[in-house]
């Protein structure tokens, strides 16, 4: 539903408005009344006839005129009833009140009651348990945080109201400007996905910054963020990395935090910029807010101080961005005005006595160098440095260039005024060099990858889905929870994965057909870790040995099924599987297998649905990418085969939702043309 | 030599003092004359009779009174001569002038000429090409940076003068205080090691912060920093991580940067806190400057805002510090005054309406909880938050506790004044939660590890050294640069490392003594990568196969030496070797071997000299530590055996300086009691 009327209301009712100092309803009323909002305002409180020298309504339904938005700040237990009474007329609500799902069972029930009304009557509800929202462009502060932030192009969405207050205070001091500040609280109705879709179409918003502790609906979030991030950058600070902080969250807002690795994989898939901490979060938002997309990945650094230049260079380690090569022509032009001791290589060191003319000319020459996409101007305020004059030169250069321009003026009072001037001319300044590089790298990476997010994903194959379901249903009806290797192999074949050959051990087995050496395995749902329990005999060389081993195993495991597989050459072992994430559903896991799988943790995550190009691109940047290129003493493995297998597993996950656990360990892969083989397949339903 | 007279001079001569605005000699003279320095001052400049309404000497040697320190700011070509003339009388110099080794060959010669005088006459020289130094406690600004920083306990040493200027400006704004600010420039005589030793004894210095681009003498640096870091923390921001930035450095100050991994290993060995960037550098310096060592590794976080609490919790990921468990007794005491919805678990969320009383009581209760060593008080300035009153409560608590106290007041203008008050009471405030945790973790880690730096390292064994030298000398005299497996094995045995059995192939070989299956290898200095050039045949099962294979190999390699080794079971393969670092000399490398060694890069570095405890401790935190504990399906490998082998290699490196390259690849290790075996040993001289 359209959130236009909620976030740009022509009329607002404040339910629970109050003149009593210290009450939330008092702060909200004053914010809406006094900060310049031009729409109609209705105050509602049964206790008063007049409030703030205005009419006060006893009940919301007494307001005869149309109300675009009602802000509710009354005790939790009265909220549902208040909304229900007005739901036919008023469609948009902000519930400020706390006392809902964040507090336990009773609160949860209250929240569900409201949710039901909202669904029935098609209401938009922000909150409950939120700070409200602020739209500086409308001079509308519909929150209980004081003040009016400056108008700008950053939309800031926060799952923590208290954090939003701190950030607004920082923003005031550092001149950070907003299109929207929205506190989403318990996200009962309007969640991060709905907000994203709303902000995608909000013309005043250039970049969306979100502080999230949880994600309500993984699939909706993926769909929304993929769509939105093609249009504008989404920067998310996602809290809850450690187990301890996940605990802190659930006692805090009742959000269910997913595993952090998977969150990262989802963000990567959706083109979301993940900020590692609050500092990075602000840095990226500021940079995107004030500058345009870098036209290419080459950066030039100019500096009047060698040390900071070196520090900036260090910050390029493992980035998509590079320090660009300076064109010979450009270097020659530098020689005409830079002292002989200058460094003409990137970072370009114009020396400590550089004045505005050196900055100016160097910038102009770089401006003509097409190889360079971004320029970071570094400065330390030495006694001979005319800081203000240099800032002016950078500002006038910025007006004439397409390149991405930012500065790192390292200092305090000596640079303060100039930094402000730079900012006013849309040149972001960073306190330290690494911050500039990190932020620029995020912006650039987003611009490169945003159109890569898959549009045409592999579809569900109903026929195959039904066939697989049939096999699984049969297993279930036989009382088992684990598929036999034979059954699992059949399913795998449907998804393009070849199981190892096998023979079932028993009276029917023709020993002449067995090619030695072989492996004997127990094939039972009661023995999941075969090596731990002697359910596995390797290197069986002949018939007698086979018979004895198999019989002994049969005895040991009380007549369970025994299978025999050929001993296969182990060149490279991979592990593949599905992890069911509470938020995002099934996630494909793939990586290096073998004895040290768990220690080395060389695994990556891919979130279905996928298509073959997306899978290939992800293999190419995965932790096993080295397998797929020729290196010393190693022929490349077949990336197309690998991509098909991973896509097969992704489809298997989507088409078999009842499967609880799944892995192939090991999948043997070869670089000599032989096909990959799944030696062990665990499907638990 | 004692640097006391240099950094606390009773009299100073300024050679090149000038009244001409814009000249370096002008700024220095004014700084020393006008900022409150109480010692005697002599101005020297042949052009003037009087300067700044004082006598001006034509030459330094005309000054009759004793001069503790001469500051030289005259053109580079005159400096050597000026010092030589005065070297008998004046022992301490600061050479501000540039134009030395940083500019090329001619400058290098100039620098060497001065170095020679300095060594002969036992002079102390700071610079050349430096900013000078500042001792706020003496009101002495002997630099050409303006202003007088506040007096404090941080010694800041910078290899970049320009960076020091920027940092001083930041410090002024943020109220950071210094005992010393020293620009070391080209480090011709006084380098980072000498400065460390001086500052270790400087009573006004509690913490040493260094910005370094290179390290002049690796061995001296290790010795000095190990000694000093036991006494006080050393925080180093070491620039030059990437190849590009190493380039930038060498064009900048001519410093030779070592490999960054090895730098990290050295810092770890020496108990040095490595700051990753300028932000971290300041954060650690501030924290150490203002607080005492955390009595234990458990931290409590208290907050009036859930979000920032969660972010703080995230910052504990992979730290030595932990979020502490709150004692049941403490929790019970919380229940008496915190609202029911508060979180009593760490992070302790006192809710958004927390006023000074909740902060006060919560702090007091935590003060009694012995399990907690540090407390971080987080706050966002919500409308109901009395920021100043809360700050006062924290300040009065700090006065009565032994715990480490810091704050994270997230905001701008609303918290500004309180942050200043906190700072004045030695409570460091951090802008964002992760900064507090990172800094505190560094301080704590240093306090735990500082006494672990090895005091009694393994000594050189002269007899063994001579024996090994003899073998190597023989190889050399035979015209080879690579030792045969037999020779290398003999050397290895001296250092406690067992080479694999072998037989030399030839007429003397008794085929009956060979135990099959075996491996045939060419053993030649001309074939270093055996697998690449077919110099290796695996799995040879019988005499005929052996003969044919060996003869063919002999033909292929023009009669080179051929050896035979038994096929050994490959359970776990390690790689061990020595990397010769340009700065720190030989460094022991050890890690996981096998085909993916280079891809997985699971290697660690250890810098000799070592002792057995240090080696063991490092194995326990190395990337192969998982081998030495029992895990699912794996018995532990023998850490004592491993430690002895690594110590052996360390001694081998120290006793055989002529060895240019050395590695064992693979070393086969076992967890079944069998001894480790070196299968391939490469010693290149």
Each residue's pLDDT tens digit, A280-312 = 999 999 999 999 999 999 999 999 999 999 999
Report which of residues A558 and B340 the model is more confident about. Answer: B340
If we measure between CA atoms, which residue out of A593, A615, A595, A594 comes closest to residue A605? A615
Worst-scoring range by mean pLDDT, A405-409, B194-198, B509-513?
B509-513
Question: B462-566 adopts what CATH topology?
Answer: Dna Ligase; domain 1 (3.30.1490)
In which band, very low, low, confident or very high, does the pLDDT at A670 lie, cut at 50, 70 and 90?
Answer: very high
Q: Say if the Cβ atoms of B277 and A432 lie within 8 Å.
A: yes
> Which pLDDT belongs to residue B539?
85
Strand-strand pairing, A69-72 and B132-135: unpaired
In which band, very low, low, confident or very high, does the pLDDT at A477 lie, cut at 50, 70 and 90?
Answer: very high
Rg (CA), chain A: 31
- A641-671 exposure pattern, b = at least 16 Cβ within 10 A, e = fewer: ebbbbbbbbbbbbbbbeebeebbbbbbbbbe
Give the residue on A whose Cα is nearest the Cα of B624: A599
Kindly state the DSSP code that residue B39 receives in the 8-state scheme.
Answer: S
Q: What is the torsional sign of CA B673, B674, B675, B678?
A: negative
Share of chain B above pLDDT 70, in %: 95
DSSP E strands in A96-177: the ranges are 124-126, 132-135, 140-143, 151-158
Chain B residues whose CB is inside 8 A of the A240 CB are 310, 314
pLDDT digits (tens, 9 = 90+) for B417-435: 999 999 999 999 999 999 9
CA pair distance A371, A297, nearest whole angstrom: 9
In which band, very low, low, confident or very high, does the pLDDT at A602 lie, cut at 50, 70 and 90?
Answer: confident
If we measure between CA atoms, which residue out of A572, A490, A486, A473 comes closest to residue A521? A486
Give the residue on B whose Cα is nearest the Cα of A213: B307
- Helix, strand or coil for residue B76? helix
pLDDT digits (tens, 9 = 90+) for B134-155: 999 999 999 999 899 999 999 9
Report which of residues A178 and A480 the model is more confident about. Answer: A178
Q: Say if the Cβ atoms of B163 and A241 lie within 8 Å.
A: no
Secondary-structure class of domain A1-131 per CATH: alpha beta
Chosen from B25, B29, B134, B166 to mutate, greatest number of chain A CBs within 10 A: B166
pTM of the model: 0.93
Q: Say if the Cβ atoms of B213 and A307 lie within 8 Å.
A: yes
If we measure between CA atoms, which residue out of A549, A569, A551, A568 comes closest to residue A560? A551
Q: How close A473 gets to chain B, by Cα (Å)? A: 34
> Which pLDDT belongs to residue B281?
97
Q: How many residue pairs bridge chain A and chain B with CB atoms within 8 Å of each other?
A: 266
pLDDT digits (tens, 9 = 90+) for B344-368: 999 999 999 999 999 999 999 999 9
Chosen from B99, B307, B441, B624 to mutate, greatest number of chain A CBs within 10 A: B307
> Which pLDDT belongs to residue B252?
42
pLDDT digits (tens, 9 = 90+) for A342-395: 999 999 999 999 999 999 999 999 999 999 999 999 999 998 899 999 999 999
> Which pLDDT belongs to residue A243?
61
Q: How close B349 gets to chain A, by Cα (Å)? A: 8
Which H or E run contains B591? strand B585-592
B576 pairs with which residues across the strands?
B590, B664
CA pair distance A476, A472, nearest whole angstrom: 6
8 Å CB contact between A307 and A352: no
Prior bond of B609 cis (ω within 30°): yes
> Which pLDDT belongs to residue B596?
73
What mean pLDDT do residues A337-343 have? 91
The CATH architecture annotation of domain A292-449 reads 3-Layer(aba) Sandwich (3.40)
Share of chain A above pLDDT 70, in %: 96
CA pair distance B680, B489, nearest whole angstrom: 9
User: Does residue B647 surpass a pLDDT of 90?
Assistant: yes
> Which pLDDT belongs to residue A255?
36
Q: Tokens at residue A52, please?
A: 């703030």
* Residue with tokens 């809406």, as numbered in its chain: A32
> Which pLDDT belongs to residue B364?
97
Beta-carbon-side half-sphere exposure of residue B166 (alpha carbons within 13 Å): 27
Q: Say if the Cβ atoms of B305 and A162 lie within 8 Å.
A: yes
CA pair distance A443, A96, nearest whole angstrom: 34
In which band, very low, low, confident or very high, does the pLDDT at B580 lie, cut at 50, 70 and 90?
Answer: confident
CA pair distance A419, A477, nearest whole angstrom: 72
What mean pLDDT do residues A224-232 have? 95
What mean pLDDT do residues B455-482 have? 92
CA B143 distance to own-chain centroid:
27
Q: How close B153 gets to chain A, by Cα (Å)? A: 20
In which band, very low, low, confident or very high, does the pLDDT at A39 lie, cut at 50, 70 and 90?
Answer: very high
Q: Say if the Cβ atoms of A316 and B411 lie within 8 Å.
A: no
DSSP E strands in B434-571: the ranges are 503-504, 518-522, 536-540, 562-566
Domain locations along chain A: 1-131, 149-290, 292-449, 462-566, 572-684
pLDDT digits (tens, 9 = 90+) for B280-339: 999 999 999 999 999 999 999 999 999 999 999 999 998 999 999 999 999 999 999 999
Judge if B1-131 and B292-449 fold alike in CATH terms: yes
CA pair distance B347, B28, nearest whole angstrom: 51
Q: Taking CA A634 as the corner, what is the angle to CA A632 and CA A638, rounded to the nearest 5 degrees?
A: 135
Q: Say if the Cβ atoms of A435 and B279 lie within 8 Å.
A: yes
Of B162, B352, B595, the CB nearest to A306: B162
Assigned superfamily of A149-290: Succinyl-CoA synthetase domains (3.40.50.261)
Rounded mean pLDDT of chain A? 92
Of A170, A213, A279, the CB nearest to B310: A213
Q: Say if the Cβ atoms of A380 and B166 lie within 8 Å.
A: yes
Chosen from B145, B306, B574, B602 to mutate, greatest number of chain A CBs within 10 A: B306
User: Does residue B251 surpass a pLDDT of 50?
Assistant: no
Chosen from A104, A170, A282, A310 to mutate, greatest number of chain B CBs within 10 A: A310
User: Does residue B532 surpass a pLDDT of 60?
Assistant: no
Q: How close B246 gets to chain A, by Cα (Å)? A: 8
Which H or E run contains B224? helix B218-231
> Which pLDDT belongs to residue A258?
47
Of B162, B253, B626, the CB nearest to A382: B162
Chosen from A157, A307, A417, A591 to mutate, greatest number of chain B CBs within 10 A: A307
Of A159, A242, A411, the CB nearest to B169: A411
Q: Tokens at residue A36, please?
A: 């310049």
Report which of residues A259 and A141 the model is more confident about. Answer: A141
What mean pLDDT do residues B105-110 have? 92
What mean pLDDT do residues B523-551 have? 79
DSSP E strands in A593-678: the ranges are 603-606, 661-669, 677-678
In which band, very low, low, confident or very high, does the pLDDT at B597 lie, cut at 50, 70 and 90?
Answer: confident
Q: Tokens at residue A511, please?
A: 């020993």
User: Does residue A507 surpass a pLDDT of 90?
Assistant: no
> Which pLDDT belongs to residue A675?
95
Q: Tokens at residue B21, please?
A: 């605005």
CA pair distance A138, A85, nearest whole angstrom: 29
User: Does residue B527 surpass a pLDDT of 70?
Assistant: no
Chain A residues whose CB is inside 8 A of the B159 CB are 307
Rounded mean pLDDT of chain B? 92
User: Does residue B588 surpass a pLDDT of 60?
Assistant: yes
Assigned superfamily of B572-684: ATP-grasp fold, B domain (3.30.470.20)
What mean pLDDT do residues B610-625 have? 93
Distances (CA, A) of A335 to A340, A349, A361, B10, B273: 7, 12, 11, 46, 41
All residues at 6 or more sequence positions from A35 whose CB lies less than 8 Å from its CB, including other chains = A139, A140, A141, A148
Q: Say if the Cβ atoms of A412 and B343 lie within 8 Å.
A: no
């Amino acid at each position: 539903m359209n959130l236009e009327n909620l976030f740009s209301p022509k009329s607002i009712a404040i339910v629970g408005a109050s003149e009593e100092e210290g009450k939330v309803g008092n702060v909200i009323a004053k914010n809406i009344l006094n900060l310049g909002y031009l729409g109609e305002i209705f105050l509602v409180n049964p206790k008063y006839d007049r409030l703030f020298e205005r009419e006060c309504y006893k009940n919301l339904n007494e307001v005869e005129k149309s109300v675009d938005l009602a802000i509710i700040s009354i005790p939790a237990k009265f909220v549902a009833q208040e909304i229900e009474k007005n739901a036919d007329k008023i469609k948009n609500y902000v519930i400020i009140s706390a006392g809902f799902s964040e507090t336990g069972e009773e609160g949860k029930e209250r929240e569900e009651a409201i949710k039901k009304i909202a669904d029935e009557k098609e209401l938009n509800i922000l909150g409950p348990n939120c700070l409200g929202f602020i739209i500086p462009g409308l001079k509308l502060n519909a929150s209980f945080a004081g003040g009016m932030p400056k108008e700008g192009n950053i939309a800031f969405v926060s799952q923590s109201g208290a954090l939003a207050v701190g950030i607004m205070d920082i923003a005031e001091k550092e001149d950070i400007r907003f299109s929207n500040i929205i506190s989403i609280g318990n996200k009962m109705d309007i969640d991060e996905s709905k907000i994203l879709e709303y902000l995608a179409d909000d013309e005043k918003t250039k970049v969306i910054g979100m502080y999230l502790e949880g994600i309500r609906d993984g699939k909706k979030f993926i769909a929304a963020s993929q769509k939105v991030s093609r249009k504008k950058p989404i920067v998310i600070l996602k809290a809850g990395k450690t187990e301890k902080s996940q605990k802190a969250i659930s006692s805090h807002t009742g959000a269910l935090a997913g595993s952090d690795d998977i969150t990262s994989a989802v963000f990567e898939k959706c083109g979301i910029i993940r900020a590692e901490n609050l500092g990075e979060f602000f840095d990226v938002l500021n940079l995107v807010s004030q500058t345009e997309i870098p036209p290419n990945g080459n950066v030039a650094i100019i500096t009047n101080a060698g040390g900071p230049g070196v520090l900036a260079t260090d910050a390029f380690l493992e980035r998509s961005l590079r320090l660009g090569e300076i064109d010979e022509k450009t270097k020659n032009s530098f020689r005409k005005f830079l002292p002989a001791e200058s460094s003409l290589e990137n970072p370009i060191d114009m020396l400590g006595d550089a004045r505005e003319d050196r900055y100016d000319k160097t910038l102009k020459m770089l401006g003509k160098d097409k190889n360079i996409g971004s320029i970071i101007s570094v400065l330390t305020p030495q006694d001979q440095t005319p800081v203000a004059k240099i800032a002016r030169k950078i500002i006038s250069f910025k007006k004439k260039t397409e390149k991405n321009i930012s500065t790192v003026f390292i200092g305090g009072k000596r640079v303060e005024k100039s930094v402000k001037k730079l900012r006013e001319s849309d040149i972001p300044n960073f306190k330290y060099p690494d911050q500039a590089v990190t932020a620029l790298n995020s912006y650039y990476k987003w611009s490169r990858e945003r159109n890569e997010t898959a549009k045409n994903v592999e579809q569900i194959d109903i026929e195959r889905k039904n066939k697989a379901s049939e096999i699984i249903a049969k297993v279930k009806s036989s009382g088992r929870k684990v598929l036999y290797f034979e059954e699992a192999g059949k399913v795998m074949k449907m998804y393009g994965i070849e199981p190892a050959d096998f023979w079932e051990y028993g009276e029917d087995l023709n020993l002449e057909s067995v090619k030695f050496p072989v492996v004997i395995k127990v094939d039972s749902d009661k023995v999941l870790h075969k090596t731990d329990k002697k359910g596995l005999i390797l290197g069986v060389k002949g018939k007698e040995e086979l018979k004895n081993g198999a019989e002994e195993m049969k005895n040991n495991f009380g007549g369970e099924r025994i299978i025999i597989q050929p001993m296969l050459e182990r060149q490279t072992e991979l592990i593949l599987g599905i992890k069911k994430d509470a938020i995002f559903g099934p996630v494909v896991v793939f990586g290096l297998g073998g004895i040290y799988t768990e220690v080395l943790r060389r695994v990556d995550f891919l979130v279905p649905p996928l298509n073959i190009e997306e899978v290939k691109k992800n293999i190419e940047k995965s932790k096993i990418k080295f397998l797929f290129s020729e290196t010393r003493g190693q022929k490349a493995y077949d990336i197309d085969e690998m991509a098909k297998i991973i896509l097969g597993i992704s489809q298997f996950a989507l088409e078999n939702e009842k499967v609880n656990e799944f892995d192939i360990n090991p999948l043997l892969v070869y670089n000599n043309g032989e096909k990959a083989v799944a030696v062990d397949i665990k499907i638990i339903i």
